[in-house]
Amino acid sequence: MNTADSRVELSFDVARSSSLSDTQRRRALDRLGARLVDGALTIAVSDTRSQLQNRQLALQRLQDLLESATAPPPRVRRPSRPTRGSVQRRLEAKRRRSHLKQQRRGNAD
């Protein structure tokens, strides 16, 4: 199958794009650094025999990549303490297990 005729290459200049804010541009350049050539992102698609479908796939992949690259970082998780009830249940389970093992050894008090 000759896919050279239907292959699509889509280039997007991340470094000089006016559609991205400064914050989005910085995030995208940091996160996509390995995929960029002179600040431009290139996506090549030759999945189907239809050039129109390949264009749509390339646009979708570009959109997905830019969304994930420009998304804000996740919120930092604040560690929480175990509840009093969960601590008591854990300790009680340990006591029961310990008692069971002591009975097996024959050292039950």
- What are residue 12's DSSP bridge partners? 41
CATH number for position 44: 3.30.160.20
How many structural domains are present in the chain? 1
In a domain, 86, yes or no: no
Q: For 15-66, what is each residue's pLDDT tens digit?
A: 999 999 999 999 999 999 888 899 899 999 998 888 999 999 999 999 999 9
Question: Is residue 41 a contact partner of residue 68, using CB atoms and an 8 Å limit?
Answer: no
Number of Cα atoms under 13 Å in the Cβ half of residue 98: 7
Nearest to 6 by CA among 44, 38, 60: 44
pLDDT of residue 108: 54
Distance separating alpha carbons of residues 24 and 49, to the nearest angstrom:
34
In a domain, 80, yes or no: no
In a domain, 97, yes or no: no
- Mean pLDDT computed over every residue of the chain: 91
In a domain, 44, yes or no: yes
- The domain containing residue 19 runs over which residues? 8-70
In a domain, 93, yes or no: no
- In one letter, which amino acid is 8? V
